[in-house]
Amino acid sequence: MAMNCNAKGEVDGGPQCALGGAAKTRRPDNTAFKQQRLPAWQPILTAGTVLPTFFIVGLIFIPIGIGIFVTSNNIREIEIDYTGTEPSSPCNKCLSPDVTPCVCTINFTVEKAFEGNVFMYYGLSNFYQNHRRYVKSRDDSQLNGDSSALHNPSKECEPYRRNEDLPIAPCGAIANSMFNDTLELFLVANKSDPTPTPIHLKRKGIAWWTDKYVKFRNPPGEGALQERFKGTTKPVNWLKPVYMLDSEEDNNGFINEDFIVWMRTAALPTFRKLYRLIEWKNDLHPTLPAGQYYLNITYNYPVHSFDGRKRMILSTISWMGGKNPFLGIAYITVGSIAFLLGVVLLVVNHKYRNSSNTADTIAF
């Protein structure tokens, strides 16, 4: 306790504490750590290190940017706005709430055939799916097939929790506002034949695997879906109950993939959601050959009130995802700036190296 007796100077006589102090000195250890002499890397920025860095950054970024840009440009994408706000639009008639069900058809032309798998999206604009209270308005345990939650949904779902004393399944604002337009695609094979060929749109395989098989489950039970959902009611805005979303058993109820996709709330107010898959059959035929198409829309979903837009998007994908020129441009820009700076600094360095003695220590 030799260390302690100094702390109480009140009764302390002097700086030394113990009689046997000679053996135990308080000399600090002379180690690299304690003396703060640990090996350290102290980079000093010199023209010799900085200039090559700029050039290397430039030389790496520009090719990457070009690569990404080209890939993005090779992606085929067609976007059709069918909101119908313009009077000329075929869907204009559907804006009035009286016409139910309202079906409208939009013609469009594919100039160049789509190769590979084609993804069909519906896009919504100005739809704030990321609103805090909207995002929260769901009951994950209900969606996971928990039977108690099915009949007694979480409070988060309020006010879409109960309707007429029956629990809503699926509850909450997200489910309630589910996109319910139906889109169908037809190819007009040739001018001579007016009967359009429907394009096969695959309904399954559009949701994340983990969502479909882990997060979303139908309520347990033996009987038909309708039995399992007994005692619940459909969301207010829905036209039909949740067990009638699809005809197939493994794509119905909570594990309906359209429903799952909708429930994954979009990050930004303008978003697209995968609607259908157009599978690539074989090498001989393009998935969507060039030609005249028309889109059949069963118009249910109102977006007019919030100035929203509805779009149908057909797109192929590449290794980097959907069409987006931004990333390529960004890479090219940054690379160019770095390269340019490198050139400027090289000139500066070359010009002023001899005039100042600190040739190698131009600090940036």
Q: Which residues bind other proteins (CB under 8 A)?
A: 1-2, 4-19, 21, 25-30, 34-36, 38-43, 121, 123, 127-128, 130-135, 137, 155, 158-159, 161, 173, 177, 264-274, 305-306, 321-322, 324, 326-327, 330
Tokens of 288: 């969507």
Report the nearest approach of other proteins to the CB of residue 136 (Å).
Answer: 9
Cβ nearer to other proteins, comparing 11 with 284 = 11
Report the nearest approach of other proteins to the CB of residue 317 (Å).
Answer: 11
Report the nearest approach of other proteins to the CB of residue 321 (Å).
Answer: 7
Cβ nearer to other proteins, comparing 36 with 357 = 36
Report the nearest approach of other proteins to the CB of residue 220 (Å).
Answer: 27
- CA 75 vs CA 68, 135, 262, 361: distances in Å: 11, 32, 25, 48
Alpha-carbon radius of gyration of the chain: 33
d(CA 216, CA 169): 13
Cβ nearer to other proteins, comparing 162 with 230 = 162
Cβ nearer to other proteins, comparing 38 with 284 = 38
Listed in sequence order, the residues at least 6 apart from 124 whose beta carbon sits closer than 8 Å to its beta carbon are 179, 270, 271, 272, 273, 303, 308, 309, 310, 311
DSSP string, 194-209: -SPEEPP-B-SS-S-H
Cβ nearer to other proteins, comparing 155 with 191 = 155
Tokens of 334: 């940054």
d(CA 6, CA 25): 14
Tokens of 335: 């690379």
Report the nearest approach of other proteins to the CB of residue 22 (Å).
Answer: 8
